[in-house]
């Protein structure tokens, strides 16, 4: 699969990082999968099969921040070049406290971390660079997963599923709708010797095939979460916990209301640069 790389630049009195966060959220709704901020703006990636110029123009014309002029250039990136691009330019080791490090196979090992996860990312979202993945990893590090059954919904690189296995979870399932992410997840489970993780290609309709869960992680985006919370609730055992991320602080009321409509109790939330991870529980 080939991808388009779009480079967005701005003219605005608003801080560029704020614009980039909002833009990434908007682009995620029309098929863009991966984002990297640079000094000038935002690099965004979308598969050539999903790239829709009209949908992009509509998003830019209806951009929710005022006094922002956005320009972009595009180029086609063939898949065989992606790992090299990451190695040269983007993916650096990510350290979460003293407990966890996420690195690529081309990085030198660093001793002293409880969990040393190897991720060779392709175009999939979820290396820990983004705030939402960082938040979800931070939440998982707090949990006792010994013997628990866990679902990683929208698994991307499978970093959460791999960490869950390293923390001695029992059944671990990762599901992603993107074929590229699915293949990358399989590759990363092999790299980390966690091949007993079950990886499936598809959306939330795949969940019932894997039974029920003690813990569900869903790091996707606001609209998909709102649509699928009922499916998450249906697969949760009594007393199970659901963590969700991929949205902003201002989206919490809508997420909380949908959780409560499906019998889930809102417990808490964590924030990083206006991105949020929420914790809910089934009675």
- Report how far apart, in Å, the C-alpha atoms of 99 and of each of 102, 119, 141 are: 10, 16, 8
Pairing label, strands 172-176, 150-153: parallel
Is residue 183 annotated as involved in ligand binding?
A: no
User: What is the three-class DSSP state of 139?
Assistant: helix
Is residue 133 annotated as involved in ligand binding?
A: yes
Length of the chain measured in residues: 283
- What is d(CA 201, CA 101) in angstroms, rounded to the nearest whole number? 27
Is residue 176 annotated as involved in ligand binding?
A: yes
Q: 10 Å Cβ neighbour count for 44?
A: 24
Q: Name the residue among 16, 11, 48, 30 with its Cα closest to residue 180.
A: 48
Through-space distance between the first and last CA atoms of the chain, rounded to whole angstroms:
43
CA atoms within 13 A on the CB side of 154: 22
Is residue 157 annotated as involved in ligand binding?
A: no
**Known binding-site residue numbers for S-adenosyl-L-methionine:** 133, 154, 176, 219
**Known binding-site residue numbers:** 133, 154, 176, 219
């Amino acid at each position: 699969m080939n991808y388009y790389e779009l480079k967005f630049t701005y003219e605005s009195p608003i801080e560029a990082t704020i614009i980039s966060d909002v833009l990434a959220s908007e682009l995620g709704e029309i098929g863009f999968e991966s984002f990297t901020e640079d000094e000038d703006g935002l690099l965004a990636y979308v598969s050539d099969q999903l790239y829709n110029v009209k949908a992009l123009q509509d998003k830019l014309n209806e951009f929710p921040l005022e006094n922002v002029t956005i320009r972009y250039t595009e180029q086609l990136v063939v898949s065989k070049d992606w790992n090299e691009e990451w190695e040269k330019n983007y993916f650096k080791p990510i350290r979460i406290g003293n407990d966890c490090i996420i690195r690529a196979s081309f990085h030198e090992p660093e001793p002293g971390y409880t969990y040393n996860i190897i991720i060779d990312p392709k175009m999939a979202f979820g290396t820990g660079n983004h705030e939402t993945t960082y938040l979800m990893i931070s939440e998982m590090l707090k949990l006792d997963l010994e013997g628990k059954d866990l679902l990683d919904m929208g698994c991307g690189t499978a970093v959460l599923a791999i960490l869950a296995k390293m923390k001695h979870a029992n059944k671990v399932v990762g599901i992603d709708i993107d074929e590229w992410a699915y293949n990358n997840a399989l590759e990363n489970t092999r790299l980390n010797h966690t091949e007993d993780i079950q990886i499936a290609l598809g959306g939330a309709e795949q969940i019932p095939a894997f039974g029920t869960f003690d813990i569900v992680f869903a790091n996707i985006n606001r609209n998909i979460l709102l649509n699928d919370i009922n499916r998450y609730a249906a697969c949760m055992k009594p007393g199970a916990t659901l963590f969700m991320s991929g949205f902003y602080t201002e989206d919490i009321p809508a997420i909380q209301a949908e959780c409560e409509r499906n019998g889930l109790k809102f417990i808490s939330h964590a924030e990083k640069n206006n991105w949020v991870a929420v914790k809910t529980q089934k009675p």
